[in-house]
Structure 1
C-alpha cells in the first residue's frame, strides 16, 4: 500500500448541535495511519453489499472537486474540506442526524490510484495510561464502519463504466439517499444478475459432465466465486475454467470457457460476485413464523426430496439432536 495523502474531519448534526470540525493539515503517513487504512479497507471488503457505478453525468460537487483536485487546481486538504462543507449542507437541509469522523485517503497501487472515503464511528473503551491508571477512551469501531467507498481514479480517467464503489454500514438506513446524492452516485452494474447468470451457465455446463463430477464442479465453482468475493476480486471465466479443470479433473471435450463461447457468447466473461446470490447456490433457505428450513443444495434429491405437485419436502437422515427432540416430544425417547 502506498498512501500519498490522508486527513480526518468531524461532522456532528442533531436536533441540538451542528458542528463541523476541519483539520488544517494532512495526517502524517506512519504505521498508525497505515493500520487505520488497512482496518477500514478490510472492513469494507468484508461487506456483503456493495454498489458499483460512476458519477452522475450532471455536474455534482463531489465529481467537480475530484476533477479539480486531479487537475491540480485544488489541494487534497481543500478537496476534503469542501466535500465536508457540502455534506454538512446536505444533512442540514434534510434535517438528518449524523455523528462521527470522516477519513479521506489517497493511495497509489501498482494497477490503480484510488481516492477513499469512510465514515468512522466510535465506541467507548478503556485504556491503561503509562502510570497504569485506568482511563476512558473513544475507540474507532471498525465492526460498525459507516458509509464508505472509493473512486478508482485510473478507471475514471479511462472512462470505464465502473470506477465508483460504495457501501453502507451499520445504522445508515436514514442517510442512504443523502449519502448517495453526496457522492453523485449512479449504479451501472447489477452484480446479482451477473452472478446468477454465470452460475446458471456453470450449472448447465456441469450437467454435460458425469453426475459425480458435475456435482463437484458446481460446488467448486461456487467456492471459487466466494473466495474471490472475500478477496475483493472479480471472477474471470477463462481463469476459473483453468482452475476448476485442474482441480476437478473434468477431462471433457469442452472447458467452461469454450462452453460459454458456444452456448452463451453474449454472457459476461468477467463479473463482480454477489455474496447474496452465491448463497442461493449453496443452500436452500426459507422460514415463516413457525418454521425455519435450511439445507445444502447438494442433498436435494438425496436426503431431501421435493414433490412439486403437493409442494412438500420429505427429509430423511435427520440430525441426531433433532431426532432426540422429536422422540422426546411424543414420548418415544430411548
Structure 2
C-alpha cells in the first residue's frame, strides 16, 4: 500500500478536566519499513473492530470544519502538514470538552490501496512490555498498543470525490454499550451516521433466506450456497471492504451470476449496490446458540432439519450422530 503522506502529533490530556496541550511535528514522516508495518498493523486492527459505524460529512461549518480543510488539501491549497496541524488543534479543543477523553499520539496517513485513496486518522496509546535484549538481558519495552485501538476513522477519498450521493465513505469506531466517550471524535471528523452495518447485514441475510427458500434447493446445494455467501461476506468484513451485491451474487451461483442480485433488485429490499458488513450479525445467522441451567448448545444453522431436529410440541431437540467425544464421555459415565 503506497503511502503518500504521513505525520504524527501528540495531545497531552488526562481525564481530569484539566486543559490539554499539543506537541506538533514540523515535518512529514519519512517512508520506511517501520511506517509500512505500522500502517499494516493499524489497518488490521481497525478492520477487526466489530463496533464500526459508516457515514458521510456534515455540511462544512464553524462547528464542522474538517471537510473544508481536507478539501483544501486535495485541491493543493494547503500542504499535509498544515492540514494535520489544523485538525489536531480542533481535536484538542473537542477533547477538552470531554472529561473522559485521554490524550495520545494522533497519526494521519494518506495511502492508496489499488486505485482507491484513503486517509486514516487514529489516536494511539502506548503500553509497557518486556523484551530480551541482544545482551540477553530482560528489559522493559514500550510500544504502540494497536490491540486497544478505539479512536480511529478512515475516509475513502476516492468515493467522496466521485460519488457525491454516497452515505458511507467514512467509517469510524463507535463506542460500545451506549457510551458517549467517542462522540467527540465523530464530531471532530464531522460525520453523520448513514449506513447501519447491523441493519443492512440483517436485511441482506433476510433476502438470502427468502431467495433460497423460494428456490427450494436441495440440502447439499443450500449448504454450499450458504457457505459461499458467508465466506465472501466474512472476507470483505475482515478486509474492511463493503459487500458488493453483484459480486456476491456471482459467488453464490457461478452458473447464474446475476440471479441473487436480480432477486434483491426485483423485491426492493432497499439495499444499496454496496453495503458494509457486520461480522457479529453474520455469525449469529450462521449458528444457533443457547445456554441455561448448566446446559450449553451451539450448532451451525445448516444442521437444523438434518442432524438436529426441533419438536415444538414436545419442546425438545433431537441430535443425530452427536460428536464421538461426547458419546464416549456419556458411555464412560453410564458404565460406572
TM superposition score category, shorter chain reference: 0.7 to 0.9
Alpha-carbon separation, structure 2, partners of 1:128 and 1:325: 44
Matches within 5 A, 1:195-214: 195-207=201-213, 208=215, 209-214=217-222
Deviations 1:163-211 (A, max 9, x none): 1111248999552222212211111112222222222222233231233
**Aligned equivalent of 1:82:** 86
Q: Which moved more, 1:54-63 or 1:276-285?
A: 54-63
Deviations 1:247-303 (A, max 9, x none): xxxx68983234445444755443222211211221012335754432211221233
Deviations 1:6-41 (A, max 9, x none): 111112312368432221211111221111111111
What's the TM-score, normalizing by structure 2? 0.84
Deviations 1:126-179 (A, max 9, x none): 346666655433101122223112222222223132211112489995522222
Alpha-carbon separation, structure 2, partners of 1:112 and 1:302: 45
Whether contact under 8 Å (1:8, 1:101) holds in the other structure is yes
What's the TM-score, normalizing by structure 1? 0.84
Whether contact under 8 Å (1:222, 1:281) holds in the other structure is no
Whether contact under 8 Å (2:130, 2:139) holds in the other structure is yes
**1:200–1:67 distance in 2 versus 1, CA, 3 Å:** same
Whether contact under 8 Å (1:148, 1:166) holds in the other structure is yes
Whether contact under 8 Å (1:10, 1:22) holds in the other structure is yes
- 5+ residue gaps, structure 1: none
Whether contact under 8 Å (1:146, 1:170) holds in the other structure is no
**1:169–1:77 distance in 2 versus 1, CA, 3 Å:** farther
**Aligned equivalent of 2:304:** 300
**Aligned equivalent of 2:194:** 188
Note the C-alpha offset of 1:114: 1.7
Whether contact under 8 Å (2:2, 2:113) holds in the other structure is yes
Q: Kindly report the root-mean-square deviation, in angstroms, between the aligned alpha carbons of the 2 structures.
A: 3.1
Matched pairs, number? 328
Alpha-carbon separation, structure 1, partners of 2:261 and 2:99: 52
**Aligned equivalent of 2:56:** 54
